[in-house]
Amino acid sequence: MQTMTTLLRGAIGTAALLTLPYVHGQSSPSMTDIQIDANTVEAHVHPEIYGHFAEHLGRCIYGGIWVGEDSDIPNTNGIRNDVVQALRDLDIPVLRWPGGCFADEYHWRDGIGPREERPAMINTHWGGVTENNHFGTHEFMELCEQLDTDAYVAGNLGSGTIQEMMNWVEYMTSDADSPMANLRRENGRDEPWDVQYFGVGNESWGCGGSMRPEYYADVYRRYNTFVKDYGDHIYRIACGANGDDLNWTDVMMDRAGRNMDGLSLHYYTLPTGNWGDKGPATGFGEDAWMSTLNNALRMDEILTNHSAVMDKYDPDKKVGLIVDEWGVWTNVEPGTNPGFLYQQNSLRDALVAALHFNIFHKHADRVRMANIAQTVNVLQAMLLTDGPKMVKTPTYWVFEMYKVHQDEDLLGLELDSPEYEHNGQSIPQVSATATRNPETGVIHVSLVNTSPEQATKIAAKLEGFEGKTVKNGRILTADAIDAHNTFDDPEHVQPKPFSAVTLEDHELALTLPAKSIVVLELHP
């Protein structure tokens, strides 16, 4: 097997190897060299990179988050307690709502006031179901308060008016004696909410209006003018590109870059790369395993290219790149409403999430936020629910393991990884990232082995770090590449302690099992 050097940060180094037994049936371990330079801080890992997205789509809101105050499912003010507690355990930094495509058909005044008096609407994008608007602005902000998370509200540019958007911002954030603020008070909320992020439209190139970038740039500038700051500055996010559409980014930065704080980007990982038949969420073979991980790794190239375009207009990186929709998109589960986008979640999805986080870290100088699609019961969800039952997915556990990287400094790292090869395709077998807590000096190292069968010996040399102890090592892996959790077996895939590691003379050594994610905590 040939070795390919994958440059991430820093300089190449070698380290002593720790020889450990590998799982029976696997081929002999390969060898991976890593050098971590604790003297070099490349960027700061913004907590918002670990953001989430909850759209009025399928059973994400209704049944997944909102059950109503009269439900037998334990809830607080209509929001189910088990979901809130599970999400709180992830230290969610920001939550995006109400869409997605739904946002550009959502009229916020339909979702305020007594619930029994709120008008219903048809959710034309997602299943053609009736939306009763019982979960609106007050309920969403209540959810954010229960989660102790920041709010990212997506405004209706596609079918809404400037006046409507302006009034919504006033309703949520103004403490003045004004019509909208007084209407909020009449509906039971005296103090304004702190809305940190506001999106001026969504996917305006598609479901948000089928616009050209030149046209949207002008419309964005017009609408954005009326997103007023009544208190703290609202971070304004413009609709960005779909995948590798660099022209959209170029036009937006040229014509509206000075009018925005952030520019969004959407990229989904399709196992097959074919929107007509994306492939199943489970029951797949190694061909689909490889193609999915390969497609996921395209995020690195996409971010590199968009960042280069943004650098032309914004060399100081004042405008953040906001990856507010990402994740695995497969065919829906058989027998479910195709408009609900309900899919299972396997170990493969967990590796996709970990690979994305390592990539987001690498681009943390430009990427200020990312929001996985979506939080509950939709696409690559954290949680699945069935009535009163709830299960945490393998992707949930990656967020839980990786939360240690939030708000830490990205360290210089270079990786010399062997290749994982299958059916004419090859990708690096190992992905890695390292961050340091600026207050405690603790370093967190996360490793991903993309090979479904071959372990690898990790030899990591640490420069500028007098490490002595490895604590709280954890591993996420499973017996099968499509292993997943069900309501009957909710703990089949979950993290376990990992202690087969040494740290001596500035060298970290371990054997990283096949198809696994490992997170280590190095103490000075």
Q: Would you name the residues annotated as active-site residues?
A: 203, 325
Q: Give the DSSP letter string of 281-349.
A: SSS--HHHHHHHHHHHHHHHHHHHHHHHHHHHH-TT--SEEEEEEEEE--PPPTTS-GGG-----BHHH
Residues 238, 239, 244: CA angle, nearest 5 degrees: 125
Question: Is the Cβ–Cβ distance between 12 and 5 less than 8 Å?
Answer: yes
Q: Which amino acid is at 30?
A: S
* Phi, then psi, of 323 in degrees rounded to 5: -85, 75
**With b meaning 16 or more CB within 10 Å and e meaning fewer, what string describes 64-98?**
bbbbeeeeebebeebbbeebbebbeebbbbbbbbb
**H or E element at residue 401:** helix 394-402
Strand, coil or helix: 171: helix
**H or E element at residue 425:** strand 425-428
* Phi, then psi, of 463 in degrees rounded to 5: -105, 135
Report d(CA 217, CA 234) in Å as an integer. Answer: 19
Q: How many CB atoms lie within 10 A of CB 220?
A: 24
E strands, 45-129, are 51-53, 75-76, 79-80, 94-97, 121-122
What residues contact 469, with CB distance under 8 A and at least 6 apart? 503, 522, 523
Question: Is the Cβ–Cβ distance between 95 and 151 less than 8 Å?
Answer: yes
User: Terminus-to-terminus CA distance in the chain, angstroms?
Assistant: 36
Report d(CA 387, CA 281) in Å as an integer. Answer: 22
**H or E element at residue 396:** helix 394-402
